[in-house]
Structure formats: C-alpha cells, structure tokens
Amino acid sequence: MFERTPGEATRPLPSRWRRREPERTALHAVVRGHLADLLDDARRRSDSGTGYPAFVGHEFHRYLDCGVLAHGFARLRCPDCGFERLVAFSCKGRLCPSCWARRAADTAADLVDRVLPEARYRQWVLTFPWEMRYLLATDRAFQGAVLRTFLRTVAAWMRLRARRLGLRGGQVGTVTFVQRFGGILNLNPHFHTLMPDGVFIEDADTPGGPLAFETLPSPTDVDIAALGLRLATRIGDLARQRFRQTQDDPPWQDPDELPLRLTVAEAVRPPGPKPPRALPWEAAPPPDDQGAGTTAAKALCTRVQGFSLHAARTVAADDRMGLERLCLYGLRAPFSLDRLSLDPDGQVRYRLHRPWPTTEGRTEIVLEPVAFLRRLAALLPAPYQNLVRYHGVFANRSRFRNRLPPPPVRSGETEVASAANMNTNSAPAAATAPSAPDAAAQATVTAPAPPPPEPPRRTRLGWAQLLRRVLDIDALQCPRCLSHRPLVVLAFLTDPAVVRRILEHLKLPATPLPVAPVRRIDWESECGTGQQPAAWDRCDANWGTHSAGDDVGIHAPARGPP
Ligand SMILES: [Zn+2]
Ligand SMILES: [Zn+2]
C-alpha cells in the first residue's frame, strides 16, 4: 500500500471543508472599523494631502470583499444527491492572509515539482542593521544591488570550495524569498535564500548535456564567520554610498513619498530602549578575515556590525516534503491571523511567535487599531514587486536552466493529481500536476544523453487541489452522501440582485458588513501633547522618548530607558 507520509493510511479521513467566514475574524473587524481613519490620518499627515499611494487603500478594500458571499459566489452541486454549496470569490490581494497562503502554497508546490532538482538544500538568512531597513524597503534598486552582492559573495565562496576539491566550472543556483517583516509586525526586510548545498557540473564526456550535481561538505563556523564579515564589509560599502547620495537628494523630497515614509519610520524601529548609535559600518572592521570581532551565539550563525547571517538549516536530498515546508516558511505571510485578537476596549493584541529578546521576554504587543493598520500598510509590498527571485542556474535567462536534472516525481503525485484533476471543473490542462520524465527511464539512458525535455508549462494549481495538498481537505467531496464524484460548478453568480435573492432565501447575510466612517482621532490621548504636531514629527515623542511600553505597545509595565 502506498503511503505518502508514514502512517498516513491509519490517519482519520481528510477534514471536512468549512467556509472560512473572514468577516468574523479580528482582522476584518479592525479593517472595517478603522480603514477610513487610517486613510484620513495619512491624508492629514502628508503635506500634499494625497495620503497613501493608491495601492494601499486598494489592497485594504480588496481584502474586505474577499470571501464574502454578498459579493458573489460559485454555486456547486453534488451530482448524486443534489447537495449544494456556495463558495465566495477570493481577492488575490497581498494583504489578505487567506489569499497570501494560497499563493504561497502554489509557489512552493511549483518550486518543488518543477524547479528545484534533487539535492541537499541549505537555507541562508541574511538580516540587516535597522538603520538600513528603511532604504531597503523603499528603494528597489538598492535592494536589488544588496541581494546581488549577497548572492555573488556566497556563490563565489561555493565555487572556490568546489575548485579546491577539483571540481572545475561548478555552477550555483539560488531561490530567494524576500521578506519585509519581522516578528512584531515591524518592517525588517531580509532575505531567505535556498541554495543547493553543492555545485552543478558539466560531464566532460557530454559537453552540452545534462549537468550533474556534486554535494560539497557543510560549512564550518569559521567559514560562516568569515563570510558574514565579508558580507558586512561589502554591503556596508554599498549602503555608505547610497546614504551619501541620499544626503544630496533625499527621497522624501517627494511629497507623495511622505506618508509612506512616516509609516515606515514608525514601523522600522525595533522596540525596547535603544540609544542612537553610529551606523555600524562606520566603525572600523576587525583587521583579519577570520571572523574576529564577530559573535556566534549558535552554530553556523554569525552577527557582525548589525548584520546577521544564519546558515544552519538544511534539508536532506530525499526530503522533498521538508523542502516544500521550507519554501512555505520563506513564503509565509507577514502576520498570522491565529495570533491576532481584539481586546474588549478595541485594542489589537498580537501574540509573538517567541519572546522578544530586547524587551525582557515580552510575548505580545498591544496596538491602537490605527497604529496596527499603519504597520500593516508599511508591510504591503508595492505592486509588481517580486518577492521570489531566481539567480544563477535557476534564473530564467540562465543557459544552464534547461540542462539541470529534472526534479524527482513526487511519489503518489499522479494519484493525487488525477484525483484533484477530476475534482476541478476547469479545463483538464489547467489542473494537471507537472509530470517530470519518468525517473526509471532517465536512469537507463546511457551516454550520449539528449538534453532533458523542456518541463511542461506551468499552470496554477486549482483551489481544491491546493487545499488538498496543503491542508488535506477535500473541498469538493459531498459531505452528505460522501460520493466519490466531486461537486460540480453550476454557475458563477455576480449579479447583485440574484446574489441577494439567493442569500436571503438561504437566510445568509445578504449585504456586506458596513465600513465605519472616519472617526476623528483624539490627538491628546494619542500623543499626550494636546496639539496636533507637524506632519513629520507627529507622535515623535511617542516613540522617541517614551520607552517600549507605550510606543509600540509592548504589553508589559512601561519603563524608562536604562
Ligand atoms: Zn452528495
Ligand atoms: Zn483574499
């Protein structure tokens, strides 16, 4: 009997599907209640009166419409017993946790099935001193330059090690997940990079043929410390150059940039008393290249001049499920709905994943609703900003990309795919799971090998297929007769009059919940000054001189700076 994961056969049947009812979540309530305040606040804070860039309001509004039946739905029916189910439309936005999770699952499945060959993978995480984070978050060109410097440095080091082992012409590939957030809803742009732990090399007998993968030995703490120092020096140089340009031509001269800048400045600063310090790269780096002056708290992890490099996490070559989980980790949403709750007085409470190190182990933050939304606004990636980047042999333009070994076929993939295929009512091609050439057939091919065939064109996985793959939920199974035939889509209903009639007949809410109008913000209670400060320094006192307790609402008794 086939088991995709050990013990699967004895597990209970897949969970039943339930409508997720986003309008009942704390996030929906906060956005509904305070979106108007947020946008109004931003307009008043910007000198030009325009407020946020248009995409911010757009994303929030899209989120409010997502998954709400009153905005339209698909009508599904069981072909055997006539059971009917309504499925609301989704927004595909970048604020919506549900649509984010769906997109992440889809991308991770694509990476594992179509892009990443079988190899041991290592996750490299690079984070930056907080003085750099504002520029990294807002200046796309700078962010690109930093990422390229990071990857070139690590790739050069990998190739050097390969050469020392006699492997010439080694090629390296990376997939980078750009995350904009830290653990406390703060803006903390950093990179999670997946890299095969070795090099791809050409077979001398078959030039132009498929590349083979050679695993290299794991790095040591000394290697990581030296790499961390090299990265801090190189990226520090880039940042210094960029700061010099910024002084001549500050990006915040543009009035439209201002509200975003305010938001970002507010979100970028980590909590806890932190006296101003010199930019970390202004200090002279330690003299030798062996990582002196760096601190390594954990294995394969180094902190130097405000940068931190972490490379301890690996996934074995045969652990494709683990690889998919690691991809999902890099692709995860900026915040988790499960950890968000509303206090009776309307404050937003967010439980932290782990106690925050600089605040004496505090485990949750409490924010004013508008302050919470401001943070979310700062975490929204700009439109068309790609959060997954491919470099080296995985880059689209790489001449080696078509010569990589094909990713292994997931055992049971055909079975899952065919089941899901039947399930989705769309065109069959749209739901076909990518099928790599058969592994056995590959093994029997002897030289000269033809280049591996072009992988099948990528199409998005269907909704039901993703639910099944990630949550093990069969959304298209009839809960009444448990028929093996999936529910079929009868119609997509968008006409407001029809939608309303059906929902009223079913005694379901037929109108979306209303969005609250602007509530003028009480400046006195918010800033404690009683007068509205100028746009730029508004509430500056709140996070400049107050300490952690008030400014970011870390939930614990307020205390002064040390
Ligand atoms: Zn049925
Ligand atoms: Zn959505």
Express each pLDDT in 49-104 by its tens digit.
Answer: 778 888 899 999 999 998 888 888 888 888 988 888 888 888 888 999 988 988 89
Centre of ligand 2 from the C-alpha of residue 77, in Å: 23
274 pLDDT above the threshold of 50: no
* Confidence (pLDDT) at 535: 31
The string of pLDDT tens digits covering residues 177-192 is 999 888 888 888 999 9
Quote the ligand 2 centre to 39 CA distance (angstroms). Answer: 20
Structure tokens at 169: 């012409």
Q: How far is the CA of 56 from the centre of ligand 2 (A)?
A: 15
404: helix, strand or coil: coil
Give the count of beta carbons closer than 10 Å to the beta carbon of residue 541: 15
Q: What's the gap in Å between 75 CA and the centre of ligand 1?
A: 14
More confident residue, 174 or 3: 174
The CA-CA-CA angle for residues 179, 185, 189, to 5°, reads 25
* 507 C-alpha to ligand 1 centroid (Å): 22
- Burial code of 134-143, b = ≥16 C-beta within 10 A, e = fewer? bbbbbeeebb
Phi, psi of 468, deg, nearest 5: -70, -40
pLDDT band for position 278 (50/70/90)? very low
Q: Which ligand is nearest to the CA of 481?
A: 1
* Domain ranges within the chain, ordered by starting residue: 100-402
Distance 486 CA to ligand 1 centre (A): 9
Ligand found nearest the CA of 488:
1
Query: Nearest ligand to the C-alpha of residue 98?
Result: 2
- pLDDT tens for 199-238 read 999 887 777 788 999 999 999 999 999 999 999 999 988 8
CA atoms of 377 and 375, how far apart (whole Å): 5
Ligand 2 centre to CA of 63 (Å) is 5
> What is the Å distance from ligand 1's center to 556 Cα?
53
pLDDT tens figures, 108-117: 999 999 899 9
Question: pLDDT tens digits, residue range 287-320?
Answer: 444 444 445 467 889 998 889 999 999 999 999 9
Q: How far is the CA of 430 from the centre of ligand 1 (A)?
A: 25
Residue 548, phi then psi, degrees to nearest 5: -50, -40
What distance in angstroms lies between residue 63's CA and the mean position of ligand 1's atoms?
Answer: 32
The string of DSSP letters for 124-173 reads EEEE--HHHHHHHHH-HHHHHHHHHHHHHHHHHHHHHHHHHTT-TT-B-E
Q: Which ligand has an atom closest to residue 483 CA?
A: 1
Paired tokens of 450: 């033809």
